[in-house]
Chains A and B, each alone.
Chain A
Amino acid sequence: AQTVTQSQPEMSVQEAETVTLSCTYDTSESDYYLFWYKQPPSRQMILVIRQEAYKQQNATENRFSVNFQKAAKSFSLKISDSQLGDAAMYFCASSPPMNYGGSQGNLIFGKGTKLSVKP
């Protein structure tokens, strides 16, 4: 079974600074996807970035980038030039590909990191 661990319940960053959120995972699968989701107070989960395990290149989406260390099973999220709107809960998640070993593609989530951004 897959597990996802986020060891930082809360983090804080100064506006315009950079912050890194940690995530480790455990899986016996050879192929899988990794995700970071943002959940603002509105409760709606928003996909921030995803990484395919077979791709060595780290994914990047504007100010968001990941550091994917497959051997260490680590998947951290870096937010550059932090903005007040980045304040939210951030969840790391994994899933096997659809129809891989009978997978339905359901997501396995960590417990989240609450990010505060100070003006």
Chain B
Amino acid sequence: GAGVSQSPSNKVTEKGKDVELRCDPISGHTALYWYRQSLGQGLEFLIYFQGNSAPDKSGLPSDRFSAERTGGSVSTLTIQRTQQEDSAVYLCASSRSSGSYNEQFFGPGTRLTVL
């Protein structure tokens, strides 16, 4: 079956502009995660969605970052008034979230460059 997809693959924007990044999880996966991978760094957790529950936003770095998940499926990560330090690869992952262990399946990421 289809894996996690993300769009766009690459995004170049000017400082101060808003951007939207999209994630399509694997069908049937109720859990969805966003991570940020800055140059030379590991992945940093941003936000978590589980079904229709309120998201865990504890990893969002500032109030310029927000995310929503419509109908328990597609998710959009929005960054307002982008800054150069927002340049990174943004990765989305989804999982079944059943039992104590959930394998997270990752998308190919969106590379965001803020000029």
Contacts and interface: CB of A to CB of B under 8 A. Distances in A.
Given A91-B42, A107-B43, A97 B33 contact: no
How big is the B interface, by class? 20 to 34
A33 interface: yes
A104 B91 contact: no
Contacts of A104: 31, 48, 50, 56
B42 A112 contact: yes
B77 to A, nearest CB: 15
Interface residues of A, number: 26
A68 interface: no
A98 B103 contact: no
A104 B40 CA distance: 26
A110 B97 CA distance: 23
A107 B104 contact: yes
A86 interface: no
B29 to A, nearest CB: 12
B38 to A, nearest CB: 10
Nearest to B3: A44
19 contacts: A6-B42, A42-B108, A43-B91, A43-B111, A50-B101, A50-B103, A52-B101, A91-B43, A98-B100, A104-B56, A105-B31, A105-B97, A106-B56, A106-B59, A107-B35, A107-B45, A109-B42, A109-B44, A110-B42
Given A43-B111, A45-B106, 20 more contacts: A4-B42, A42-B108, A43-B89, A43-B108, A43-B109, A44-B106, A44-B107, A44-B108, A45-B93, A47-B103, A50-B101, A50-B103, A97-B100, A97-B101, A98-B102, A99-B100, A104-B31, A108-B45, A109-B43, A109-B44
